[in-house]
Chains A and B, each alone.
Chain A
């Protein structure tokens, strides 16, 4: 874990602050995989994405209910609630809760408590922000506007509305003044620096703070999230099962982002659905993740159960694009090589070399290639052999355990290069979601469809439908990397 932690340069700031904040529970965290989880998850382009329109049930995830009786009524209320580091701490707390599955329950509780302490905006206050951003008050900018927010977002809230051209929309509105408040707090960093030195003495403190500042400030501009959502919505347009709500650009700005409203069953409801339905939903999620990665060179880093809406027949709506990492071709190549050498060519030495090339494995580590494969191949277990395979919760937690296994003989030689950290959400998050669905599929066959170096035939009905979609789109879609 030392190696992992040392590798995890970014997010140490967030971690340290989360640590300071949670100091009572932290005695544990420090020696616990939770810290490694935090460090990793927070590092390298990872932003908590809880501020996107998670509709309907969303509020229930972190808040029992929105406390309208305590609504913030003025910009001064916002400053009092989120000023003097509170907003910064909240963002950091959210970044930390992003690795939910790696955190002890006590820490999770405390983080959600921090969120609980921020009430929604009053109708008037929210309306004022919409007017500032869109030039018109909400009842003129929209045909209908629901003044009661339907969900909390980390630094804002989500309202339902009908656009003037009759589309149902979800409108996320940011707290007024929060960007300035947070920027001011992040402009005076001596306290932050001191706290970090206590908690993360081995880290490059100023680099951490700079990274933290960039990340938080970036997240305060909703236009970035809108761009990501638009990019992926364009790619998946017409997809047989993947649905991404379209951004309504003319009603989006820095502090307001409007997208089509989506409805559907929440993740928890899937428990009562037949297994075939759950398998189909899982297949769609799987295809979404790897199509995005290999074809759009983008990875939505938050495969959180709250970010899906289910419609049956495998159709899934994907929400929340606050945390999207873009990859260059050069960054993607080694990942493909690793999968290819291990799973397709079955060439362990080449697998080892590509891990070294990517920076995952220190060159000349005094380990046999067999040992390396033994310990790292668990991450590829679902795709090494063809055939139907069920991803169980046990498998998902075995992956997490292995990931944070400090005693592993390879631990000392493995690190996660910064640009790949977010991909660990596949190991830590995607498998957790698929495991909760006890999803069965021939994952290898699906992977072969998607792997650019295989481009295998359709292996399922959904695969057939995808082929048709791709054929239709090939002509018109021009994919652009970052």
Chain B
């Protein structure tokens, strides 16, 4: 294992903001993979999306092979914030970018993945980032986290919209190389898929270490750090009990007051986010497109 020191997380918000802005086009030629009427847009712009992102990392990291790939190849330890920002920029492009931009971004990811392979030091199993099984896990964790975080802390999706969201997102998995027929296309399939992977999941030292980092990133400005506690508790509350047990985290109590507090923290974080250059304009571009789509 390539144990090395982690870089500090200063600028986490600023770089996430820049990543978001980079994916939102000024005068798009088309609506991209989802479009303004999609559930995917709603989920991506939901107040709870920072918790969804964190929850998604918590889930993804539990797959030893996926975790090993990140840990051994991505410059994660050297520049964790940069790595997270790259992911955010990718997701922003996939979600809001033109179709061509989304395809370019996905092609770039597939290209990088070709060089990512090795042996997981914990299980001794070989892995390759092009393996559809790993890609599918990463995809499913992301999609399920959007639903779960929204349900607890954002705007919950109706069961129909939840199904629609899962179905809409299939294309994202396909783009990075998962055959369509393998990708869950509704909530029930998604649940069954996640249950089926569960026996393979475990909290490796790399997972423990990297999640300790994202849950409590060193070097955050103290004011943001105060809010981050809430985001972290929200994410931990939103993962399934079995996942919390793998990590050894206690279940945060989620009283109605505590839930309100976490939502408030999301609001404050969002205000900070909007203060970053370009974020407001990017949001406004998206809002106008959504408005144009709404029936009058």
Contact = CB atoms under 8 A, between A and B. Distances in A.
Contacts of B264: 84-85, 185, 188, 191
Nearest to B272: A21
A198 B222 contact: yes
Interface stretch (A31-39, A48-56, A109-117, A361-369): A109-117
Q: How large is the interface on A (under 10, 10 to 19, 20 to 34, 35 or more residues)?
A: 20 to 34
Choose among B225, B229, B261, B264 the residue with the greatest number of A CB atoms under 10 Å from its CB.
B264
Nearest to B283: A117
Contacts of A233: none
A190 B270 contact: no
Given A69-B288, A84-B266, A113 B223 contact: no
Interface in A170-213: 185, 188, 190-191, 194-195, 198-199
Q: How large is the interface on B (under 10, 10 to 19, 20 to 34, 35 or more residues)?
A: 20 to 34
Interface in B238-264: 257, 260-261, 263-264
Given A70-B288, A84-B264, A190-B257, A20 B223 contact: yes
A21 B268 contact: yes
B123 interface: no
A69 B272 CA distance: 24
Contacts of B272: 20-21, 23
A45 B265 CA distance: 27
Contact of B280 (A83, A117, A188): A117
B172 interface: no
Contacts of A116: 280
Given A24-B221, A70-B288, A113-B274, A195 B226 contact: yes
Interface string B257-296: 1001101111110111011000010011001100100000
Contacts of A185: 264
Contacts of B222: 198
Nearest to B222: A198
B267 A84 contact: yes
Contacts of B263: 84
B18 interface: no
Given A114-B274, A191-B230, A86 B224 contact: no
A155 to B, nearest CB: 15
A89 B268 CA distance: 8
Contacts of B14: 24
B271 A114 contact: yes
B51 interface: no
B47 interface: yes
A89 B261 contact: no
Contacts of B291: 69-70
A296 to B, nearest CB: 38
A70 B284 contact: yes
Contacts of B283: 117
A70 B287 CA distance: 7
B226 A85 contact: no
A339 B225 CA distance: 48
A116 B260 CA distance: 26
A22 interface: yes
A346 interface: no
A110 B223 contact: no
Nearest to B10: A24
A26 interface: yes
B175 interface: no
A2 interface: no
Contacts of A114: 271, 274-275
Given A116-B280, A117-B274, A83 B267 contact: yes
Given A69-B288, A84-B267, A191-B261, A113 B47 contact: no
A178 to B, nearest CB: 14
A20 B271 CA distance: 10
B227 interface: yes
Interface in B166-198: none
A92 to B, nearest CB: 10
Contacts of A84: 47, 263-264, 266-267, 270
A67 B287 CA distance: 12
A86 B283 CA distance: 15
Interface string A343-355: 0000000000000
Contacts of B224: 20, 23
A85 B268 contact: yes
Contacts of B223: 19-20, 23, 26, 195, 198-199
Nearest to B284: A70
A57 to B, nearest CB: 23
Given A21-B272, A24-B221, A195 B261 contact: no
A70 B285 CA distance: 10
A110 B47 contact: no
A22 B268 CA distance: 11
Interface string B54-72: 0000000000000000000
Nearest to B11: A24
Interface string A67-108: 101100000000000011110010000000000000000000
Choose among B261, B268, B284, B287 the residue with the greatest number of A CB atoms under 10 Å from its CB.
B268
A21 B291 CA distance: 29
Nearest to B276: A24
Given A84-B263, A85-B264, A194 B226 contact: yes
Q: Which 5 residue pairs across A and B have the least CB separation, nearest first?
A: A84-B267, A85-B267, A20-B223, A23-B223, A191-B264
12 contacts: A20-B224, A21-B268, A21-B272, A23-B272, A24-B14, A70-B287, A83-B267, A86-B270, A89-B267, A113-B275, A114-B271, A117-B274
Interface of B: 14, 47, 221-227, 229-230, 257, 260-261, 263-268, 270-272, 274-275, 280, 283-284, 287-288, 291
Given A89-B267, A117-B280, A195-B223, 5 more contacts: A20-B224, A20-B268, A23-B224, A89-B268, A198-B225
